[in-house]
Amino acid sequence: MSHISAQRTMVQAKFWILRKHFEGFPKDSDFELKEENLPEPQDGEVLLEAVFLSVDPYMRPYSRARMKEGDTMLGTQVSRVVQSRNPKYPVGSYVVANCGWRTRSLSDGSDLRLIHSDWPKELPLSLTLGTIGMPGLTALYGLEEICKIKAGETLLVNAAAGAVGSVVGQIAKIKGCRVVGCAGSDEKVSYLKELGFDYAFNYKTVSSLKDTLLEAAPQGYDCYFENVGGEFSSVVLPQMKQFGRIAVCGSIATYNDTELQTGPYVHGHMIFKQLRMEGFLVFQWKHKDHDSIKRLLDWVKEGKLQCREHVTEGFENMPAAFMAMLKGANTGKAIIKI
Ligand SMILES: NC(=O)C1=CN([C@@H]2O[C@H](COP(=O)(O)OP(=O)(O)OC[C@H]3O[C@@H](n4cnc5c(N)ncnc54)[C@H](OP(=O)(O)O)[C@@H]3O)[C@@H](O)[C@H]2O)C=CC1
Ligand SMILES: C/C=C/C(C)=O
C-alpha cells in the first residue's frame, strides 16, 4: 500500500544537461534533454514549477568554469510553489529560483527569493529575470559603484539593446547624462532611439567605428560601460576623456573563442589619460539588492524605465533560445516561457 502511495505522489521533471563542454560556439548536440521523477517535498522543502526561465551570456563562460559534463545547465527561473512544507514559501507564491534549466525542482528554500504578493499585476513576473532582476542590478551597480556617473557626463555602452545595456542607457538618461549606444541591427538602433539614447548606431554596418565614436562624442567619453570586449575596446580607449571610468561588465565577443585574442596594449591610454578600468560581478553588492530592486521597480512603475523582452515559448527550445541570444537575436531580455 505504502509503495502505491509513493508512486502516486511522484511528479515528472524535465531538465537540460550539458552533455559535452562547448568548443567554440555551442551546438545542439552539446545539450541533452532528460527526465526524472521527483518525490514529494520533505520538511522544509518546496516543489517548484517553472513559469519563465532565463538564458544569459554568463552561462557560456560559467559552463566551463563551474560545470562538468552531465550537470544540469545552470540558470535562474521564475517558478510557482506547487507543494510546500516550508512556511516561508506557501503554495501559490512565486519565487526567483536558482535551480537551472528544469521544469520542476525540489528546493530547501536556500536558493530562492520570494516575489512579494504586492508585485504589480500589470507587470509580467519575468521582469524579475531582467530589468527588475540580475541584469537591471548589473546596470545600476556598474553605473553607480564603478563609473560613479554624474549628471552632464557622456557615457558609451555596447550591446546596448540587450538586457543590461538597455537599462544602462536609460538609467544614465535618468541621471542627466548624454548617452551613446550601439547594437547589431537597425531595428535595435531604432529601439535605442525610442528609449531616448542621444546617439545610436549599428556597429556591424558603420564604415569606421573610430569615426562614428568621434562623431557621437567629439569631446570624448567620461564613462564606458563595457559589455562586449575584444577589438571594440581597443577603439574606444583612445577616445576616453582624462580621468574616464570603464566598467568592465562583460566580454561576450570573446566567450566562444577557442584561442585568447590579443589586441593593442591598453597601458599607454590608461596612464596618460589617467583612466580607471574595473571589472565587477553584480553579486558584489548583494547587500544592496533589496533597496535596488525597489528603485528599479519604482522607475518602471513611473514609466522612466521601459522594458522589452524577447520571449521564446517552450522548454524544449531552451538551447535554441540560448544560442540565438549569443548571436544577437534578442532585443531586450531573452526569456523562455513555459
Ligand atoms: N559582470 C556581471 O555581473 C554581469 C555581466 N553581464 C555581461 O553583460 C553583457 C550583456 O549581458 P546581457 O545584457 O544579459 O545580454 P544581452 O541581452 O545584451 O544579449 C547578448 C547580446 O550581446 C551582443 N553580442 C553577441 N555577440 C557579440 C559580439 N561578438 N560583439 C558584439 N556584441 C555581441 C548581441 O547583441 P547585438 O545584436 O547588439 O550584437 C546580443 O543580443 C554580457 O557580456 C554579460 O556577460 C551580464 C550580467 C551580469
Ligand atoms: C553574473 C554574470 C556574469 C557575467 C560575466 O555575465
ipTM: 0.99
Give yes or no for residue 250 CB within 6 A of ligand 1: yes
Distance CA 78, CA 132 (A): 12
- Greater pLDDT, 335 or 260: 335
The whole model's pTM is what? 0.97
As given in the structure block, the three cell numbers for residue 173 are 538618461
Give yes or no for residue 124 CB within 6 A of ligand 1: no
Compute the distance from residue 57 Cα to the ligand 2 centre, in Å. 7
pLDDT band for 1, please (50, 70, 90 cuts).
Answer: very low
> Which pLDDT tens digit goes with each residue over 148-164?
999 999 999 999 999 99
User: Closest-lying ligand to the alpha carbon of 248?
Assistant: 1
Q: Which residues contact 272 (CB under 8 A, 6 or more apart)?
A: none
> Which pLDDT tens digit goes with each residue over 86-112?
999 999 999 999 999 999 999 999 999
Which residue is listed with cell 542621444?
Answer: 198
Q: Are the C-beta atoms of 309 and 126 separated by less than 8 Å?
A: yes
Q: Are the C-beta atoms of 204 and 180 separated by less than 8 Å?
A: no
Compute the distance from residue 4 Cα to the ligand 2 centre, in Å. 46
